[in-house]
Amino acid sequence: MYSKYERQKDKRSYDERHTIYTGPQWAHPVERINPTKIVRWNEEGLPIYEEPGAEQVAA
């Protein structure tokens, strides 16, 4: 008697074990999510979150 979580021998043949992951590994390229905030770090190493376009040039 054994638990289903114990280590067991793989019952597949050598060919079955080595041909599982052939072919493409993706379906479709996913659409990237555009960032909503800019992350900058201060001197102490803490993150500062800024809105894009909110940084102003000092005159």
Distance (Å) of CA 27 to CA 24, 30, 32, 50, 52:
8, 9, 15, 35, 32
Q: What is the per-residue pLDDT across 11-44, written as a single tens digit (0 to 9) for each?
A: 888 888 887 677 777 778 889 999 899 999 999 9
Tell me the one-letter amino acid at 9: K
Q: What is the pLDDT of residue 56?
A: 61
Would you state the structure tokens that stand for residue 25, as one six-digit string? 């590994």
Q: What is the pLDDT of residue 16?
A: 85
| Dist. CA 59–CA 46, nearest whole Å | 27
Residue 23 region by backbone torsions, left for phi larger than 0, else alpha for psi between -120 and 50, else beta? left
Is the per-residue pLDDT at 45 higher than 90? yes
